[in-house]
Amino acid sequence: MLSRRFVVCGQVQQCFRLRDTMMRRLRCAVVMGALLPCLALAQETQLQETKLWTVDRYDDLERGTLQNVAISSDGQLLAGPRTDLLYLSGGSYVWSVASDGKGAAYVGLGGTAAGSAAVVRVHTAGDTRDDDPIKLWTGPEFAVQALRVTADGSLLAATSPDGRVYRFAPGARPGEAPRVLWDAASTQEKPKYVWDIAEAQDGSIYIATGAPAVVYRVPPDGGKPEVLFQTSDQHIRCLLVAPDGTLWAGTEGAGVLYRVAATGGHVVAGAQPFAVYAAPRKEITALARDADGSIYAAGVGTRGSTTLPPLPVTGALGVTVTISQAGSSGTPGANALLPEGSELYRIAPDGTPSRLATLKDDVVYSLAVHQGKLLAATGNRGRICTIATDGSGRFTDLARLDAAEAMAFAPDPTGLLVSTSNSGKLFHLGDTTAVDASYTSEILDAQQFARWGRMEVRPAPADSVDLYTRTGNVPSASTGWSAWSRVQPDGATTVPPARFAQWKVVLRTGGTVDRVAWNYLPKNTAPVVDAIVVQPGARVTPTATATTPPTVQIVFPGSQSGTATATDATATAPLAAQRDRTATTVRWQAHDDSGDALQFSVWYRGTGETNWRLLKDKISDRFYSFDSTTLPDGEYTLRVMATDAPAHPAGAALTGVRVSDPFVVDTTPPVPGTLEALLQAGATSGTVQIRARFQARDALSPISHAEYSLDGEPWQVVEPVGGLSDSLAESYDFIAVPAAGDGNAPRAGEHVLAIRVYDRFENAVTAKTVVR
């Protein structure tokens, strides 16, 4: 799956010049044995030219806003079916729907409390279509889980929990109490839930229940119910009756699909169900059958491992949806998630099973075969998908209803009825194409001010396709944007330059679009040097090993708190440099909002001077070390200049500069004064000591510290007079005691006293004297 792509195009001659330059460098690099650095240079060189915003994939298209538009898995936009809202319940759940085929629909309502179960009649066609919905009945249960209109026009309603099946007489009116056809409390098994109902060829009624998983049959005359079969699963979730009377049942617990043969128009009690397939998923939520006898099943949830071999995968479906789910798939919630997704299976007429498709993140609540197409009602965004049954994996995002879950289908003379939950509604999905189909793209952020050029559309816009564009400089298009402007037949657009852009396509019957691309040219912006730090006494070399001298960490002030701006994370990481008093390293951060490759130059100027002098240009790194001894001692500032010249023709490049804080170059050691040393008697009888005095002075930086060594012994620190070493000139007066002789007393005779003085830049001077 690919996301939005940007294509660099235009100015062909310059591209050829760049190519030729790169090839010359590559040939040179091969000769010199340095191919890899040259390849890196070719990759880093980025030209800022006309870009192309291309939308031609399903993943790109589904981020837009659809109004009666379908999206195919191969990235095609086409006018979708006309979709009408027929009924708004005002509650969260419309669990079920049935149609009498004569312009009336029945919806089963539910809620989270006893007494929420209700049946409402909605007119869907004819002169009474706009009449107010009529509530036929309200029951004591929580929900009407399933509805079915029988061959004689009666309406069956199955309720849960502790459910019943009610029969409403044909043409029932409000206030007419339905007859209880089946009551869980009157059975020996006393199931807790009623999930589905179906009608046999002879008028018998099949009832699927759960906790325990039992299928009941009620005779056509409404006589005493009988148990057809019971399984070890937790629930019988769905039923389907084939034209030959065969009963199919899907379970929850082991995810098994059963087939039971009919005799004399119905399944007889004691018939042995045959397990056609044990799905890898825990629950079979929906069943459908096509004209050639293939059975389609939807499986959800994860169960334990199966000993059955995996099914052959005949298609791969890339639908990605998030669905709301709490517990069983039959109980949708507002904010829960079923991350396992769903799978669709096909059972061929000869009984061969295969996995048809995988829906990665959504659950299938209902399946239907309509006009030869397999449709799935799914959750989270109320999506209705058509799925190819040829094993190709193709699908079409046919409609997105204004609800979280699409719960159930029912056939209608002019299309399909779809009930939804979160919120509870009834929609009509027509067999005709919508006349007001439009698709609005997501908003593109060009990251900077840009000019918007010609659009490229495939296939070329015809009378059935209109394209519009608009631009703005704020992220939300709700206000402050230009008005929609129609794109000309040649693709020319007339929108003002701006940072953000959006396009819209209006489709009429027969209109399709499978690729939209929009040319734009971002306005070049000058690079910015965000920060500079100068570190005297440090040098960065291309290679550093564990045996190199002690290192210095060069960091930006405030970089740990995120106050500096940089192009990448490595720009703020500490830079390891070798300690070297003869060198100075400057480091900088820089960025370019246009994303251009940058080059840098470093200039210097002494305090009190006017002109800047070049130290180094054409630097690709974001640091530079130079030899401080090439500059006279004194105070300086550095200027770093960034240019985007590598990405632009001559004369079109922009620059940005930043000047460092003043710093001192000091490579000259302090100047010592006369070293006076006098041999004198020690503090105890028979011993000697040396009293030494000297001064030291530095022209630029304070004296850091001083040391002395007597007769080649290890160096020892000596403090200045006053104890603080904080001035350009310091005086020293100290006592040095010679090492003990053979008599364990400081020996007399000739002694050599050496001193060493450092300034703050580690410049050192030594001096010595002989004491007798």
Closest CA to 558 of 550, 546, 566: 566
What is residue 131's DSSP assignment?
Answer: S
> In sequence order, what are the beta bridge partners of 216?
207, 227
What's 531-586 look like in SS3? EEEEEEEEECCCCCCCCCCCEEEECCCCHHHCCCCCCCHHHCCCEEEEEEEEEEEE
Q: Residue 310's pLDDT is what?
A: 39
Burial class (CB within 10 angstroms; exposed 0-12, middle 13-18, buried 19+) of 508: middle
What is residue 701's DSSP assignment?
Answer: S
Please report which helix (H) or strand (E) contains residue 471, including its range.
Answer: strand 465-472
Closest CA to 705 of 763, 767, 629, 628: 763
The span from the CA of 605 to the CA of 639, in Å, is 8
Q: Residue 340's pLDDT is what?
A: 67
- Show the CA angle centred on residue 688, arms to residues 683 and 692, nearest 5°: 95
The span from the CA of 668 to the CA of 671, in Å, is 9
The amino acid sitting at 319 is V
The amino acid sitting at 532 is I
Is the bond preceding 212 in cis, omega lying within 30 degrees of 0?
A: yes
Crossing angle of helices 35-44 and 12-32, rounded to 10°: 160
- The token pair that represents 253 in the structure block: 């617990």
At 322-334, the pLDDT tens digits run 222 333 455 444 3
The span from the CA of 178 to the CA of 156, in Å, is 9
Q: Residue 386's pLDDT is what?
A: 94
Cβ(537)–Cβ(762) below 8 Å: yes
At 59-70, the pLDDT tens digits run 899 899 999 999
Strand 613-619 vs strand 551-554: parallel, antiparallel, or unpaired? unpaired
The span from the CA of 514 to the CA of 510, in Å, is 13
Residues of the chain with pLDDT under 50: 1-46, 127-130, 305-328, 331-338, 544-547, 559-569
The span from the CA of 761 to the CA of 685, in Å, is 44
Q: Residue 270's pLDDT is what?
A: 78
- The token pair that represents 3 in the structure block: 């996301």
Q: Residue 130's pLDDT is what?
A: 47
Q: Residue 649's pLDDT is what?
A: 84
Closest CA to 412 of 379, 359, 449, 368: 368
The span from the CA of 636 to the CA of 552, in Å, is 21
Q: Residue 461's pLDDT is what?
A: 73
pTM of the model: 0.68
The span from the CA of 608 to the CA of 385, in Å, is 76
* Count, residues in the chain: 772
Cβ(182)–Cβ(244) below 8 Å: no
The span from the CA of 464 to the CA of 678, in Å, is 110
Closest CA to 348 of 387, 392, 290: 290
Q: Residue 21's pLDDT is what?
A: 41
- Report the chain's terminal Cα–Cα distance, integer Å: 90
> In sequence order, what are the beta bridge partners of 196?
208
Cβ(325)–Cβ(332) below 8 Å: yes
Q: Residue 561's pLDDT is what?
A: 35
Using the CB atoms, write b or e for 49-77: b if 16+ within 10 Å. bbbbbbbbbbebbbebebbbbbbbbebbb
Cβ(564)–Cβ(555) below 8 Å: no
Compute the CA torsion angle 532, 536, 541, 546 (nearest 10 deg).
-120
- The token pair that represents 136 in the structure block: 């036929």
Cβ(533)–Cβ(557) below 8 Å: yes
The span from the CA of 590 to the CA of 568, in Å, is 10
Cβ(622)–Cβ(589) below 8 Å: yes
